[in-house]
Amino acid sequence: MILAPTITQRLNRARGDMRMGVPVVLADQGSSALVVAVEALDRDGLATLRAMGQPEIALTERRATTLKARAYDGDLARLWVPPDVDAAWIRALADPSGDMRHPMKGPLRSVRDGAPDLHRAAVMLAKSAHLLPAALVVPVANGLALASTHNLTFIALAEAGPALQLSSPLHEVTSARLPMTASQAGRVHIFRPEDGTEEHYAIEIGQPDRSAPVLARLHSACFTGDVLGSLKCDCGPQLHAALGLMGAEGQGVLLYLNQEGRGIGLANKMRAYSLQDQGFDTVEANHRLGFEDDERDFRIGADILRRMGFGSVRLMTNNPRKIAMMESCGLRVVERVPLHVGQTDQNAAYLATKATKSGHLL
């Protein structure tokens, strides 16, 4: 057994640090920087970081577009932090909740010199921690020594790059029989990723033949729809209708993937809902927060199905992207089974946006 944590374990430690406002040290090709999630930045933290050097804010191009800031790095904008602004001003650049009350946040000066790799990694870490995709970045000398002196997590991008991009391997932890309303012949399997992120679940109905295409659904967790019965989406009705159809056929697998809010987390999903109350549709709200239309990783679902012994599926979905991802991961989709349920007056605009902007087949 090796006592030192692996890069995967250190990345998960870094996510926890960022959620608590603890700085993380990133390094790449002789350069290093202290990074803090903007969402967790407070007055004392800003003062400490300013004493270390000149801070810069790293934002996604989506958020930069809303702020009318130049994103010289394509997918990323680096903004210079004036010496007279406070932590609240910096947080307002990342959080769109006050955009309508205070639309003018500039003038904003974009940074274009130097490499953006540390800034990009900082934003990716914030995203994977389900925080707003924005980080305060302060270039420092000898990041490894700084991390050792202050007991900070140190991440070298040469090690972390592949781990940040790849889908973490999953392992089944346990399974147990679970009689359900949809079927008394139910079993729940728990899968845990190696990177310490959320576990995912496979609900197996009956005993599907592994040599035949299995009726399957990839269902992303939706606390508001699945648990609270939200009328703003069709998630809860889709969940129960899918299980009901599998129960009627006597077999099937529903994958319950913990990718709330299309992969941005429940807190950011509620932020998006607040923006929808201001008149933005679901895609526009995600963009104003700095996210893409859909941040989910459907490779997780393909991995679970393969580990359960399935090679082909009858996929219950309205989303062509799920079909493309399944097939790109080596799973054959022999049939798309539509799932048109849960339409309400309250979610009509949401469903229309999914059809027109996200390509859902409604």
> Who's near 31: CB < 8 A, 6+ residues apart?
114, 115, 118, 139
Q: DSSP states of 204-271 as a string?
A: EES---TTSPEEEEEEE--IIIIIT--SSSSHHHHHHHHHHHHHHHT-EEEEEE--HHHHT-HHHHHH
Residue 289: beta bridge partners?
none
Contact 289, 264 (CB under 8 A): yes
Which of 274, 270, 272 is CA-nearest to residue 285? 272
Distance CA 255, CA 200 (A): 8
State the amino acid at position 145 in one-letter form: A
294 carries an active-site annotation: yes
Contact 59, 92 (CB under 8 A): no
Whats the size of the chain, residue-wise? Answer: 362
Candidates 17, 28, 226, 294; catalytic one: 294
177 carries an active-site annotation: no
Distance CA 236, CA 244 (A): 12
Residues involved in catalysis: 294, 296
